[in-house]
């Protein structure tokens, strides 16, 4: 398997999901670490990158999860009470641009929720293929782009490595700004990570960008209280997968 400089598998193509269905790998109704405020998170299946340090390998497979109709996914998002937005992660959301743009269209038509997507592509590369990605790009309020670089990993809010950029569109801006200017300020400050602990079925789930120190500290603290966890299992809004 040959990779390019962004860990993308060379000479590979993603399946064509069309614009009627999304292959959903995981759905989390509420998260406080997947962007600003409380958000619903949709992890889509399939990724052609193999970034060193990725712990979302269960989402590499384009057949992971369940094929879901666009309208059904949009309604599932809209039915979640108390959220401020929806975040698309994966996997690679931009391998399913057409369908996700339709999900965003419905969500924005029926609510005031903001939309955010993570991607291993750079915004400039996505903007160079407007027929494929333009509608999805234009439906986003926030884009966090760039492949995860293990040697640049650190404690960053919403991101796994410092090369990844947070790009935000001005609220109410009717002009398409496909470059999505870089968001400056506190959001990029180091030492500001957020990790959420939740119980999913019988699994303790860490979301956000939990490193080994966080995981080990949690396990030691629970052990002191007589709680023993099984083999390590994690799920993340956008962990070190790029």
The tens digit of pLDDT for each residue in 205-238 reads 555 555 555 556 556 665 566 666 665 544 433 3
Q: What are phi and psi of 66, to 5 degrees?
A: -140, 135
pLDDT, mean over the chain = 80
Tell me what pLDDT residue 234 has.
42
Asked if residues 136 and 97 have their Cβ atoms less than 8 Å apart, the reply is yes
- Tell me the pLDDT band of 189, cut-offs 50, 70 and 90: very low
229: CB partners within 8 A, 6+ apart: 204, 219, 222
**For 2-11, 32-41, 87-96, 170-179, which range has the lowest pLDDT when averaged over its residues?**
170-179
pLDDT at position 56, please?
A: 81
Residue 225, strand partner residues: none
Q: Is the pLDDT confidence value at 91 over 90?
A: yes
Tell me if 212 sits within 8 A of 221, measured CB to CB.
no
Whether 134 has a pLDDT exceeding 70, the answer reads: yes
Q: Tell me the pLDDT tens digit for each residue of 48-80.
A: 999 998 878 889 999 999 999 999 999 999 999
- For residue 57, the model assigns a pLDDT of 84
Give the range among 3-7, 128-132, 134-138, 232-236 with minimum mean pLDDT: 232-236
Which pLDDT does position 27 carry in this prediction?
A: 96
Strand partners, 203: 200
Query: Does the pLDDT at position 196 exceed 50?
Result: yes
Q: Higher-confidence residue: 30 or 215?
A: 30
Q: Are 180 and 188 in contact (CB under 8 A)?
A: no
Residue 87 CB neighbours (<10 A):
27
The predicted model scores a pTM of 0.78
38 pLDDT band, cuts 50/70/90, is very high
Model pLDDT, residue 225 = 61
């Amino acid at each position: 398997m040959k990779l390019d400089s962004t860990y993308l598998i060379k000479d590979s193509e993603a399946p064509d999901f069309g614009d009627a269905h999304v292959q959903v790998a995981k759905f989390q109704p509420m998260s406080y670490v997947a962007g600003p405020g409380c958000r619903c998170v949709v992890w889509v299946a399939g990724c052609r990158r193999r970034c060193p340090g990725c712990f979302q390998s269960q989402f590499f497979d384009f057949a992971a999860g369940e094929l879901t109709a666009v309208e059904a996914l949009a309604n599932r998002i809209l039915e979640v009470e108390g959220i401020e937005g929806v975040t698309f992660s994966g996997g690679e959301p931009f391998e399913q641009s057409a369908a996700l743009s339709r999900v965003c269209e419905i969500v924005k038509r029926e609510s005031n929720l903001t939309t955010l997507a993570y991607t291993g592509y750079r915004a400039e590369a996505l903007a160079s293929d407007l027929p494929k990605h333009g509608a999805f790009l234009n439906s986003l309020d926030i884009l966090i782009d760039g492949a995860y670089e293990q040697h640049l990993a650190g404690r960053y809010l919403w991101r796994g490595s410092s090369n990844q950029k947070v790009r935000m569109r001005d609220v109410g801006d009717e002009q398409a700004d496909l470059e999505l200017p870089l968001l400056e300020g506190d959001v990029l400050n180091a030492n500001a990570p957020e990790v959420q602990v939740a119980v999913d079925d019988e699994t303790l789930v860490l979301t956000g960008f939990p490193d080994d120190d966080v995981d080990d500290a949690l396990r030691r603290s629970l052990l002191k209280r007589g709680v023993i966890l099984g083999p390590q299992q994690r799920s993340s809004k956008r962990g070190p997968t790029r």
